[in-house]
Chains A and B, each alone.
Chain A
Amino acid sequence: MEVYVDIDRCIYCHACEVACERVHGEARISVGAVEERASVPLFCHQCDVAPCALACPAGALVQGEAAVSFEAEKCTRCGLCAISCPFGAVYIGETAPLQKCDLCSEREAPACVLTCPTEALIWGDGEDGAKRLRRRAAARMAQSCAEAIGRGRI
């Protein structure tokens, strides 16, 4: 299980940021707007072959089956992980040695997912996100097709 994003749904409301900050003291997710036309939540993707875990010389970041875990006592705050992460989702924190999403391991589902007003963040298997996008695209195609052949919606 991991956090997946449906970018079209993000409305730049910052709810995930504030929720993450509430739970962890510092926000590990951030939302950026792009040219006032869209916004994107940026967070740890828990990559399956994670560059941060490959880069970590101290073995503090460990590649797991579904997530990349962090062991604080091993961390030397060298910052290699922050450099290697393609999403800028790992950073040296103020209140903790390293700020990286832990998928709210002590909760049933991450706070950012539960709080997201538009369900732009999806908690699920990697396929769930794609499935949702696919359903939506299919619904639109089917509708225009139905209109074209004069069937209309049922």
Chain B
Amino acid sequence: MKEILIRPERCMGCRSCEIACTVEHSRSKSLFGAVAEKPLPKKRIYVEFVPECAISVPMVCHHCEDASCVSVCPTGALSQDEIVRVVTHDLEACIGCWTCASVCNYGVIGRNKDQRVAIKCDWCPDREVPACVSACPTGALVYKDVDEFSGSKRAVAALKLAQGVTAGESR
């Protein structure tokens, strides 16, 4: 099962993902249309720059396996699909108490002031690959199965090692 995974070392803080997310969650689904919309559409991914390490980290809902936002929701507005794990949010049931936002360790539950409800990543149900991942120019965001993700990291590490060995031999 695929999910959005991050590689902060590749993030250069361009915020393309934020724009793509906003556009995808607008009514018009186009950049120019989105800017003109009222109320303005809102992003669900946030790029945080950490000055101490000079690294940017794209922060997005991890659809945790045992999601604390789901367990604290007093009205059951947040629910989790048992199979694909996606955490979905029922706008009708939300009372805007923000308990979910308090307990989310990643701080990725936002607030839609106009509709008075919480907003969060929905893995772009209308798309094959979430908009943020498609927009990322450096591959800092990937949409993959976790095993596959680690596999690809292993391959990169193996390549580096092999290059080192060959370089050593040729010397």
Touching in the complex, A and B, CB below 8 A?
Answer: yes
Whether a CB of chain A sits under 8 angstroms from the CB of B151 is: no
In the complex, which residue of chain A has the Cβ closest to the Cβ of B59? A134
Cα distance A143–B52 in the bound complex, in angstroms: 8
Report if A24 contacts B (CB, 8 A): no
Report whether A142 and B74 are in contact in the complex, using a CB–CB cutoff of 8 Å.
no
A134 — nearest CB in chain B belongs to which residue? B107
Verify if A127 is at the interface (C-beta below 8 Å from B): yes
Taking a contact as CB atoms under 8 Å apart, the answer to whether A145 and B98 are in contact is no
Bound-state Cα–Cα, A131 to B106, Å: 9
Say yes or no for B104: interface residue by CB 8 A criterion.
yes
- Is A116 among interface residues, defined by CB-CB distance under 8 A? no
Q: Does A27 contact B (CB under 8 A)?
A: no
Interface check B116, CB cutoff 8 A: yes
Q: A-contacting residues of B (Cβ < 8 Å)?
A: 6, 8-9, 46, 48, 50-57, 59, 74-75, 94-99, 101-111, 113, 116-117
In the assembled complex, which residues on chain A have CB atoms less than 8 Å from the CB atom of B107?
A: 129-137
The reply to whether B108 and A48 form a contact with Cβ atoms under 8 Å apart is no
- A139 in contact with B52 given A48-B117, A130-B107 (CB within 8 Å): yes
Residues in chain A within 8 A of chain B (CB atoms): 4-8, 45, 47-51, 86-87, 125-127, 129-139, 141-143, 145-146, 148-149, 151, 153-154
Across the interface, do A133 and B55 meet the contact criterion of CB distance under 8 Å? no
On chain A, the residues within 8 Å of B98 by CB distance are 4, 45, 126, 129
Q: Looking at the assembled complex, report how far the CB atom of A140 sits from the nearest CB atom of chain B, in whole angstroms.
A: 9
Cβ of B102: which chain A residues have Cβ within 8 Å of it? 4-7, 129
Do residues A154 and B52 form an inter-chain contact, with CB atoms below 8 A?
Answer: yes
A7–B101 CA distance with the chains assembled, in angstroms:
10
Q: Which residues of B contact A127 (CB under 8 A)?
A: 110-111
Nearest chain A CB to B152 CB, angstrom units? 16
Please name all residues of chain B whose beta carbon is closer than 8 Å to the beta carbon of A145 when the two chains form the complex: 8-9, 53, 55, 57
